[in-house]
Amino acid sequence: MNIKIAPSMLSADFANLERDLKTIEKNGADYLHVDIMDGHFVPNITMGPDQVAQLRKTIAIPFDVHLMITEPLKYIDRFAAAGADIITVHVESEGEIQACIDAIVNKGVKAGLVLSPDTPLEILVPYLDQISMILIMCVYPGFGGQSYIPESTEKIRACRQLIGHREIDLQVDGGINFKTLKEVIDAGANVIVSGSCLFKGDMKDNMRQFRKIIHG
Ligand code: DX5
Ligand code: ZN
């Protein structure tokens, strides 16, 4: 399977974002993972669509926008206009899941659904033929640098089974590092988000190390 790496911007130096995004791109990242938090759905705040639009001009790799906001439907059009290539919405947020998928797809953007650690996979069943990505959170959303929740591995494995032959990417986010990477890949994940691990020290070395683990 083709494994993609999506460094999370949350761990970048926000005083030097352009520099850090260019470093991500230069080191062969497949996507930029952009965490959007509203201080309500999660107890942290990041940025809105205007900032994403400005950042979009700095690099060419696809923007994978993870919405951790209470009312995603209200903002989908604006994140699409800002240049998001993929938009993922939490199934726990307020706002009809079907309406969110429709709004994303209508803008020509790839739609994905996100599950927080306590949310069962079954909720995805009605939408499987309409989405391009499933994101399994391996920590409680809100902050970078948390530890991987071990129960996530079984959930990833079950999710890969649920996907079956459908062309849906299985993304994992939270606590992915040199120790947990192999476990999530073996369980069936194929899009790897990582923030604190990739940004600690030298991104080039860290990406190389990730690729080494991925290719066995
Ligand atoms: C957390 C965010 C993650 C975060 C991951 O809610 O969704 O994308 O940046 O950070 P690490 O890789 O440090 O766990
Ligand atoms: Zn994220």
pTM of the model: 0.98
pLDDT value of position 83: 98
Sheet holding 4-7, edge to edge: 4-7, 191-194, 169-173, 133-137, 110-115, 86-90, 63-68, 32-37
Residue 146 has pLDDT above 90, yes or no: yes
Tell me whether strands 4-7 and 191-194 are parallel, antiparallel or unpaired. Answer: parallel
**Residue span of the structural domain in which 55 resides:** 4-214
- What's the CA gap between 214 and 91, in Å, rounded? 29
pLDDT value of position 216: 86
160, 170 contact by CB (below 8 A): yes
pLDDT value of position 186: 98
| Average pLDDT of the residues in 121-136 | 98
Q: Which atom of ligand 1 is nearest to the CA of 146?
A: 14
Shortest-distance Cα residue to atom 9 of ligand 1: 144
Q: ipTM of this model?
A: 0.99
CATH number of the domain at 98, please: 3.20.20.70
pLDDT band at 172 (very low <50, low <70, confident <90, very high): very high
Amino acid in the structure at residue 175: G
Q: What is the CB < 6 Å shell around ligand 1?
A: 8, 10-11, 33, 35, 66, 139, 141-146, 173-176, 193-197
| Average pLDDT of the residues in 182-211 | 98
Round the average pLDDT of the chain to a whole number and report it.
98
pLDDT value of position 48: 98
Best residue among 11, 38, 46, 138 to mutate for probing ligand 1's pocket (most ligand atoms within 8 Å of CB) is 11
pLDDT band at 59 (very low <50, low <70, confident <90, very high): very high
pLDDT value of position 191: 99
Q: Which of 71, 72, 62, 65 is nearest to 88 (CA)?
A: 65
The 8-class DSSP code of residue 53 comes to: H
pLDDT band at 46 (very low <50, low <70, confident <90, very high): very high
pLDDT band at 62 (very low <50, low <70, confident <90, very high): very high
72, 102 contact by CB (below 8 A): no
Number of domains in the chain: 1
pLDDT band at 150 (very low <50, low <70, confident <90, very high): very high
Residue 42 has pLDDT above 90, yes or no: yes
pLDDT band at 58 (very low <50, low <70, confident <90, very high): very high
pLDDT band at 1 (very low <50, low <70, confident <90, very high): confident
pLDDT value of position 194: 98
Percent of the chain surpassing pLDDT 70? 100
pLDDT value of position 175: 98
pLDDT in tens, 11-33: 999 999 999 999 999 999 999 99
